[in-house]
Amino acid sequence: MTAPGFDRSGTSFGERYALVRRLGVGGMGEVYLARHKLLGIDRALKVLRSALPADAHPVERLLREARALAAVDHTNVVRVHDIETAGGEVALAMEYVEGETLLSHVRRLGPLSPGAVSDLLEDIAAGLDAIHNAGILHRDLKPSNVLLGRASNGEVVPRIVDFGIARSESDEEQLTAPRQILGTPAYMSPEQAAGLPVDARSDVFSLTAVIAFMLAGSAPVIAPGGSPDLDSWSTSSAWPQSIRTVLNAGFQRFPPDRPSSAKELALRFRSAVRDQESVPTRDAFPDRGGKQPLVVPVTEILPRELPLPVPARPAGNGWGPWLSVAVLGVMLGVVIGLL
């Protein structure tokens, strides 16, 4: 037996796995980067905490997580490989995803652009729908439960993980006492916070909170049984109304009023982003059906150091100058006569 929180890096779990380093600590156990001693393959090994109280049903929960993950084969969902036991302890051997969590990604970079959010959202939604299609509810979707790995071409691939409190929609066995609430308050739907029955639209609410986190760079503040106020984020004033409309739809208090699936939420958000990108920017010279004349003073066009051209003498019979002198003389005579 080991003390809670004790870092077991450098030791072994049973005969097959060497614990390389600790990746994280959760409420039910600790996750290690582990190497299979015979195959040389890296795995993420979730070791169940031995000091958990019996009424927490730790083994049942871990087995449930294993069954949930094993039922889903999708690019955006972390795969489970095996259940390991050693010295009276139980561990879940999962696919190891090298990268960072969505939580650390946003904390490192700050709020993401709507376009970047939409790209990540489509993959996360695809994974969440695959989970729902397998008849499973996640019930704890949040940024720290989304891993950002990389494909062979370098593209970032979100992967949903940590199904510790997931359950089948048809599973009649309840591992929580009546009205007992499990989950993360900042990302929890009103019905889940109230201990009421939940369905896939509860995860849609949580996914909406994940979207808001990516846009704002901070977790939403949700009153128990309610929805977050978008104006509570200092950055929300810069969000286009089309995006706020999508978030408000996902944050509806009653499940029937929300998008029916994660994909629908992602499509609405993508449409809102495209609508915003299609808004024309204000131009200093708006197009009015043709090229606009550019009016610039002549002195700005001609070199200032060159003299202005002298008008050429008009062609004629030569009487023009003398006639002008005669007229000037007559006018001068009239003025003198008046004096």
Residue appearing with tokens 């029937």: 256
DSSP codes, 180-239: ---S-GGG--HHHHTT----HHHHHHHHHHHHHHHHHSS-----TTS---GGGSTTGGGS
Counting Cα atoms < 13 Å in the Cβ hemisphere of 207 gives: 33
Residue 82 annotated as catalytic: no
Active-site residue, selected from the candidate residues 123, 140, 162, 203: 140
Nearest to 74 by CA among 148, 139, 125: 125
- CA 127/CA 73 separation, integer angstroms: 9
3-class secondary structure, 324: helix
Cβ atoms 100, 148 nearer than 8 A: yes
Beta pairing partners, 90? 85
For the chain, where are the alpha helices, taking DSSP H only? 58-70, 102-109, 114-133, 190-193, 200-216, 241-250, 262-277, 298-301, 319-338
User: Could you give the residue numbers annotated as active site?
Assistant: 140
